[in-house]
RNA sequence: CGGGGUGUAGCGCAGAUGGUAGCGCGCUUGGUUCGGGACCAAGAGGCCCGGAGUUCAAAUCUCCGCACUCCGACCA
């Protein structure tokens, strides 16, 4: 594909990445602002991406025995406050319901910022025996967090997500669940969204309020800033004890179950935009694209063209693909630009010349590569091209990640590398909070994670020079 | 929550020194086009973000809000 810009409505990412991002959100018709500050409307095209993500993830969750439930949206203040750390972590951003009709409520009710408390309260009443464990629950819902500044998908006061909550008989089982779900997310990012990730554990400073350990999949955007993709927590029996969730064990003693939670959100749509998009707009991974193939009839007024285009659609539909034909009166150029902006992975062009030659032309969104294919090979060719789109997207994103991980042995070096290249800066770290604070203050970076695959870069902490305990990734994060 | 910027038609923007609104794109209808954002013609569409002031008169001046946006601090 020629490199010149074809979509004037979208600011070039090199000129202003933030504006480029916002332009795509609006111009690709993913999202619109609502009338309450910080709230957004997911428009049909944006919501369809989310539905595809949901469908695929939900199937994965169910394969490993998880069941969906629906919890109330309101949490009594007294219940929310039972676990100190969680409350402290979320207190500044909880929205409250204080009135029912015109009457003031006796007790304030919180809009859920997350549902650990509701699940624990429920379990405290329904769990009796070790035979009922594990309980592997998930819910798809929205939550409210009164954020101070907001951006579409990346940070809004209401966002849609799934939150998995499980309780187990033993710590080992719960830890295995935490790891399993982290890997489930990592696979989803890499195999479905074509975004390579770094798996790791969060520092105490960055972990979820109330968790014993928080794990994360971190990804890198095209501006070389980091984005946390999804998260998986191990709680130990902390919440069980706080909420009095107990069961009678195999040995007839009263025990506290071990708990996990894990979540992923509509922020993943933001990750897709910033990991794959270009100056012509969105580039969608085929697996979540609402339209996987757009069929464009060329010179559609000429006899047979529209019929041929519709026939291609029928065949691709029958092959299980999500397909549309655009037979509007807009010009070919307009249509090309339009579907590029919306990130449709594959375009099929068919016109009089093609029909004469018994072929059609397939064009990949990610690299603009055109391939003429015989009409009778359409289905296999389309599937092949979609596979190549995925592979091309993944390789490009992987290259971006691999080329933006730098090792540093001092804070100054880390700072210089970040300023020059962005990306992840890896160093050794002593484990002390003070060094994280220093890195934030002096180099503008927060710790992203301690990767599960550790490397020994040296003996001492890059910040303080004391003996190092972990290798850690730093970055500028969304 | 601190610091900048911006709010005028669906979108992008003009509207000096105050006099009740315009352009481009888009939209509607009809026609000609159609292999990378076509053209002609005729139309529709505005409590100029909101509220108070000042004034004979406010999109324009003054306050106070609100929203969006960018940069920080906080978070998925």
Q: Which domains does chain A have, with CATH numbers?
A: 17-276 (3.30.930.10), 291-387 (3.40.50.800), 405-475 (3.30.110.30)
The whole-number Å distance from A27's CA to B20's C1' is: 34
- Asked whether the beta carbons of A471 and A456 are under 8 A apart, the reply is yes
Question: With a 7 Å cutoff on the CB, does A154 touch strand B?
Answer: yes
Evaluate if residue A199 carries a pLDDT over 70. Answer: yes
Sorted by sequence, the CB contacts under 8 Å of residue A102 that are 6+ apart come out as none
pLDDT band at A83 (very low <50, low <70, confident <90, very high): confident
Residue A158, phi then psi, degrees to nearest 5: -120, 135
Question: With a 7 Å cutoff on the CB, does A271 touch strand B?
Answer: no
Q: In what helix (H) or strand (E) does residue A346 lie, and over which residues does it extend?
A: strand A346-350
Q: In what helix (H) or strand (E) does residue A59 lie, and over which residues does it extend?
A: helix A44-63
Q: Tell which residue, A417, A419, A395, A420, has the closest CA to residue A406.
A: A417
**Which nucleotide minimizes the distance between its C1' and the CA of A159?**
B76
Evaluate if residue A202 carries a pLDDT over 90. Answer: yes
Q: What is the pLDDT of residue A32?
A: 87
Share of chain A above pLDDT 90, in %: 85
Would you mind telling me the total number of residues written for chain A in this entry?
A: 478
Q: Strand B and chain A: which residues 37-96 have CB closer than 7 Å?
A: 37-38, 92-93
- Asked whether the beta carbons of A459 and A429 are under 8 A apart, the reply is no
Question: With a 7 Å cutoff on the CB, does A312 touch strand B?
Answer: no
Q: Tell which residue, A249, A104, A232, A93, has the closest CA to residue A165.
A: A232
pLDDT in tens, A116-153: 999 999 999 999 999 999 999 999 999 999 888 889 99
Q: What is the pLDDT of residue A91?
A: 82
- Asked whether the beta carbons of A312 and A348 are under 8 A apart, the reply is yes
**Which has the minimum average pLDDT: A90-104, A266-280, A317-331, A445-459?**
A90-104
**Which nucleotides on strand B sit less than 7 A from a protein beta carbon?**
1-2, 11, 32-38, 66-76
Question: With a 7 Å cutoff on the CB, does A448 touch strand B?
Answer: no
Strands A323-325 and A346-350: unpaired
CA A108 to chain centre: 32
Question: With a 7 Å cutoff on the CB, does A121 touch strand B?
Answer: no
Q: Strand B and chain A: which residues 292-311 have CB closer than 7 Å?
A: 298-301
The mean of the pLDDT values for chain A is: 94
Evaluate if residue A5 carries a pLDDT over 50. Answer: no
**Which nucleotide minimizes the distance between its C1' and the CA of A1?**
B36
Evaluate if residue A4 carries a pLDDT over 70. Answer: no
Strand ranges (DSSP E) for A237-345? 247-248, 254-255, 258-265, 293-297, 323-325
Q: What is the pLDDT of residue A8?
A: 58
The whole-number Å distance from A124's CA to B43's C1' is: 67
Q: What is the pLDDT of residue A103?
A: 83
The whole-number Å distance from A355's CA to B20's C1' is: 60
- Asked whether the beta carbons of A397 and A276 are under 8 A apart, the reply is yes
Distances (CA, A) of A261 to A106, A196, A309, A447: 31, 23, 48, 22
Buried b (16+ CB within 10 A) or exposed e, A22-41: bbbbbbbebbeeeeeebebe
Q: What is the pLDDT of residue A195?
A: 98
Evaluate if residue A7 carries a pLDDT over 70. Answer: no
């Amino acid at each position: 594909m020629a490199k010149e810009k074809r979509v004037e409505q979208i600011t070039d990412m090199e000129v202003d990445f933030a504006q480029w991002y916002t332009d795509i959100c609006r111009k690709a018709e993913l999202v619109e602002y609502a009338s309450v500050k910080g709230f957004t409307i997911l428009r049909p095209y944006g919501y369809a991406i989310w539905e595809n993500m949901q469908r695929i993830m939900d199937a994965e969750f169910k394969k490993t025995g998880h069941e969906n439930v629906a919890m109330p949206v309101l949490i009594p203040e007294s219940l929310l406050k039972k676990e100190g750390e969680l409350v402290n972590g979320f207190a500044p951003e909880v929205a409250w319901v204080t009135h029912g009709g015109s009457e003031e409520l006796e007790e304030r009710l919180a809009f859920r910022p997350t549902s650990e408390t509701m699940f624990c309260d429920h379990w405290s009443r329904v769990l009796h025996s070790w035979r009922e464990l594990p309980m592997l629950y998930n819910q798809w819902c929205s939550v409210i967090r009164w954020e101070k500044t907001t951006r579409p998908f990346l940070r809004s006061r209401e966002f849609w997500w799934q939150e998995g909550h499980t309780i187990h008989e033993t710590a080992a089982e719960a830890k295995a669940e935490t790891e399993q779900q982290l890997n489930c997310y990592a696979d989803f990012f890499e195999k479905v969204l074509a975004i390579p990730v770094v798996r790791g554990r969060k520092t105490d400073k960055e972990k979820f309020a109330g968790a014993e350990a928080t794990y994360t999949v971190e990804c890198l955007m095209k501006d070389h800033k980091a984005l946390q993709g999804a998260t998986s927590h191990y709680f130990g029996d902390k919440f069980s004890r706080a909420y009095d969730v107990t069961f009678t064990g195999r040995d007839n003693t009263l025990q506290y179950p071990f708990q996990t939670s894990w979540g992923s959100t509509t922020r993943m749509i933001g990750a897709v935009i910033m990991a794959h998009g270009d100056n012509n707009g969105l580039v969608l991974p085929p697996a979540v694209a609402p339209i996987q193939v757009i069929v464009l009839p060329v010179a559609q007024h000429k006899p047979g063209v529209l019929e041929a285009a519709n026939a291609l659609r029928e065949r691709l539909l029958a092959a299980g693909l999500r397909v549309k034909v655009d037979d509007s009166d807009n010009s070919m150029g307009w249509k090309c630009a339009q579907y590029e902006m919306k990130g449709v992975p594959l375009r099929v062009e068919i016109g009089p010349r093609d029909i004469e030659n018994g072929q059609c032309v397939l064009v990949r969104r990610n690299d603009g590569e055109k391939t003429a294919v015989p009409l009778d090979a359409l289905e296999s060719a389309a599937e092949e091209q979609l596979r190549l789109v995925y592979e091309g997207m993944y390789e490009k994103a992987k290259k971006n990640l691999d080329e933006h991980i730098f090792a540093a042995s001092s804070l100054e070096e880390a700072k210089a590398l970040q300023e020059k290249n962005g990306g992840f800066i890896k160093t050794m770290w002593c484990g002390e909070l003070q060094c994280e604070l220093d890195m934030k203050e002096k180099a503008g970076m927060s710790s992203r994670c301690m990767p599960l695959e550790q490397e020994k870069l040296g003996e001492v902490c890059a910040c303080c020079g004391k003996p190092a305990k972990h290798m850690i990734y730093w970055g500028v994060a969304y």
